[in-house]
A and B are shown apart, each in its own frame.
Chain A
Amino acid sequence: MLRTERLVKEFRGFRAVGGKDGVDLAVREGETHALVGPNGAGKTTLFNLLSGALAPSSGRIYLREREVTGLPAHTIARLGVARSFQVSSVFDDRTVRSHVDLTLLAHSSLRTRFLTSVRSLGAFAERTTEVLELVGLGHLGDRRAGDLAYGQKRALELAMVVAADPAVLLLDEPTAGMGTEDIERTIDLIQRIKGGRTIVLVEHNMKVVGMLADTVSVLQAGELIASGTYSDVRSDPRVVDAYLGAHRA
C-alpha cells in the first residue's frame, strides 16, 4: 500500500531519516502499522516525508505502487493520505462542523468555487453529521473548536482525518497528553474508524501499540532496526535496549 525505498532525509548534513542505507518501509493494505522508537529517531520526520510536507533528500515513496516522491502535500492528501498532527491543530474560531466541512471541501469540486455561496457546503451536512457521530462529537457540532476539552480536540483531529475518507491514515501520537480514560476512548475510536483502512501510527504508549498494531516497526537514529508483530518486537533485545528500558521487557 505504502512503501519507501532507501528513503533518506538530511538536515544540513544530519541524517534524521535513513541511517546507512535509507529506510525501506512497507505498509500492507489494511494493516495498522505502528512506528516506535526513541525520541529523535525520525518518526515525525518520516511522517512529514510520507505526507509530502517535506521532500526527501533521496529515495522514493510509493503509494499503491504509484510513485509519489516529491509531490506536494496537498496532492498526496488528495490521493488519499490523511495525517493528524502531534499537537492538536484545530481552528479555534471555527465550529466543529465547519472543520469537517472544510475537509470534505478539499475533496470536492466545490473547492475552487468562489462565486458560490458558502451555503453550498450544506451539501456536506449529512456526511459531516455522520463523521461527527462516529468520533463521538455528534452533539457538539456547533461548538467553537477552541472551547473543546483536550480529548475532544483530539477527536476532532481524528474527525478531520476520517472525513477525507482516506486510504491511509498517518496518526502522530494520537494519545499524547491524555489520561487513561481518554486513551481508552481514543483506542476505541481508532478501532471504530478503521474499517479496512491502512493506518500508520506513531506512539510512545506501548499499551496503545499493543492494542492497535498488527505490525510494529522500530526506528532508531533514522534506521529501521526491527519490524514484526508486537510481541516479536517487544522481546527484541535491541529494542529493549534502545527504547523500552531493561525492566519493562
Chain B
Amino acid sequence: MITVRLVQSARRNQTAGWALLGAGALLALMLPWLVYPPIAVDILAWALFAMSIDILFGYAGMLSFGHAAFWGVSAYATGLAAIELGVPFPLAILVGAVSAALVAVPIGLVAVRTHGIYFTMVTLAFAQLIYYIANRWSSLTGGENGLQGIPRDFVGLEWSDPFVYYHAALLIVAIGFWVAWRSVNSPTGQVLVALRANPARVRALGFSVERYRVFAFVLSAFLAGIAGGVYAIGHRMVTLQDLYWTTSGEGIAMAVLGGTATLFGSIVGAALLVLLEDFLATSGIEATGSVTGAVFVLILLFFRGGIWGAVSAALARLRGTSQDDVLERPPPTGPAVPPSNAAEEATTQGSDVK
C-alpha cells in the first residue's frame, strides 16, 4: 500500500518535474519579449551566479562571501580575451570561466581548512585582495575606468543586438544550469550533502573531505565564472564593481531569496532582484538599500526555504504526499548545531590534525 503510493507519487513528481522544466524553458525563450533583452541577459547571468553560490552554501554548507572574485576575474579574463586576442565570445567566456576556476584552486586549498563563518570571511578576504590587485594593475584592468567596448564577435553574425545575444547566453547559461543540477544530483553531490551534516563520519567512510570541499569550491567558481563572462559580454564592459564584495552580497541575496538548497530557486531570486533593481532605478524610490535589506530580513525570518522552498512546500501540502523528493536534500535551514559527532570532529581537528 505504502509502496504503491510512493511509486505513484514518484511518477507524479516526475511528470510534474518535466512539466515544470518545460514551462521554465518556454518562459526562458519568451523572456526577451517580456522584459528588456539586456535585463533578460542580466537575469541569466545572475541566476547562474546565485546558483553557483547555492551549490556551495545550500548543499555543501559553505557560505562564500568572496564569489565576486570569480565572477570578476572571469569577467576581466573574458573581456581581455575578446579585446586583446579577438577570440569569439563563447571561447572568451570559456577562457574566463577557466581563469576563475584556476584562481579558485589556491583560495580553495586555504579556505576549506576553515568552517562556518570563518570560511565566509576567508573567502571575503581573498576576494578583497583580488579587488586591490585589479585596482592597482590598471594597465591590465583599466583601473577605475574598467574595460570598455568588449567586442561580441562570433562567426561573423550580428550579435550586437541584445535580443540575439540573449539566446546565445541562454544556451551557455543553460549548460551551466545543467552542470550545477547534474553535479548536485550526482554521487559527488551526495557526498557533499552528507559532508555538510557530519564531516567526521564521511571521512571515516573513506572520503577525503578536503578534496571534496575544494572540488565543490572550484566547480562553483567555474560556474560563477561562466556567469561573469556572460555578464561581461552582455554589458560589453567590466568594472571594479564586479570584483567588489557587494557583488557577492547580491549573489547571496538572490540565492537566499530564491531558496537555498533548491538550485532553481536561484533563478527566481535572481529574476526578482534584477527586476526590482531595474524598477527602482527609474521608480524614483530611493530606498534601494532598505528594500533589499527588508527582503533579506523577511526571508530569513519567515521563509527560510526562500520562495522556491515556500512554493514547493505549499504544493507538496496540496498534493498531500511525498517526503521522498525532500529527503535527499539538506534541510533548507541547515543543521542547527552540528550534530552528535561534532565534538569528535573538533577533537580530531586539533592542532595535530593532518
Contacts and interface: CB of A to CB of B under 8 A. Distances in A.
Per the CB under 8 Å rule, do A and B touch in the complex? yes
A118 B187 contact: yes
A48 interface: yes
Given A89-B340, A103-B205, A113-B187, A144 B197 contact: no
Contact of A93 (B6, B189, B207, B331): B331
A87 B189 contact: no
Contacts of B278: none
B190 A98 contact: yes
B185 A117 contact: yes
Contact of A53 (B6, B327, B348): B348
Given A105-B190, A116-B186, A89 B352 contact: no
A192 B349 CA distance: 34
A121 B208 CA distance: 19
Interface string B182-225: 11011111110010011011111111110000010001000000
Contacts of B179: 115
Interface stretch (A72-80, A183-191, A214-222): A72-80
18 contacts: A54-B353, A72-B354, A74-B209, A77-B203, A85-B201, A89-B344, A91-B201, A92-B339, A102-B202, A111-B188, A114-B215, A115-B182, A117-B182, A117-B185, A118-B189, A120-B186, A144-B323, A160-B205
B276 to A, nearest CB: 33
B350 interface: yes
B341 interface: yes
Contacts of A98: 190, 328
Given A54-B352, A91-B197, A107 B206 contact: yes
Contacts of A90: 201
B330 interface: yes
Contacts of B206: 74, 77-78, 103, 106-107, 164
Interface string A88-112: 1111111100100111011100111
Contacts of B201: 85, 89-91
A54 B352 CA distance: 7
Question: For A74, A78, A114, which residue has the most chain B Cβ atoms within 10 angstroms?
Answer: A114
Contacts of B191: 102, 105, 111
Q: How large is the interface on B (under 10, 10 to 19, 20 to 34, 35 or more residues)?
A: 35 or more
Given A55-B353, A111-B187, A74 B207 contact: yes
Contacts of B207: 74, 106, 111
Contacts of B327: 93-95, 144
Contacts of B186: 113-118, 120
Contacts of A51: 204
Given A54-B352, A93-B330, A113 B344 contact: no
Given A98-B328, A112-B188, A118-B328, A53 B182 contact: no
Contacts of B350: 11, 54
A118 B203 contact: no
Contacts of B197: 91-93
A112 B206 CA distance: 12
B353 A94 contact: no
Given A106-B206, A160-B205, A88 B340 contact: yes
A68 interface: no
Interface string B13-39: 000000000000000000000000000
Shortest 6 CB-CB contacts between residues of A and residues of B? A77-B206, A106-B206, A114-B188, A89-B341, A53-B348, A114-B183
Interface string A43-81: 000001001011101000000000000101111011000
B325 to A, nearest CB: 12
Given A48-B348, A144-B327, A121 B194 contact: no
A2 interface: no
B187 A105 contact: yes
Question: For B323, B329, B354, which residue has the most chain A Cβ atoms within 10 angstroms?
Answer: B354
B200 A113 contact: no
A130 B352 CA distance: 39
A82 interface: yes
Contact of B190 (A57, A77, A102): A102
Nearest to A120: B187
Contact of A83 (B6, B204, B340, B343): B204
Contacts of A110: 187
Given A85-B340, A89-B198, 10 more contacts: A53-B204, A57-B352, A75-B208, A89-B200, A90-B201, A102-B205, A111-B207, A113-B187, A118-B187, A118-B328
Nearest to A98: B328
B352 A115 contact: no
Given A53-B204, A54-B353, A106-B205, A121 B328 contact: no
A48 B215 CA distance: 26
Given A73-B204, A87-B340, A118-B186, A102 B215 contact: no
A14 B119 CA distance: 31
Contacts of B190: 98, 101-102, 105, 118, 121
Contacts of B194: 91, 94, 102
Contacts of B328: 94-95, 98, 118
Interface string B328-339: 111100000001
Given A95-B327, A164-B206, A87 B353 contact: no
Contacts of B209: 74
A102 B193 CA distance: 11
A225 B348 CA distance: 26
A144 B200 CA distance: 20
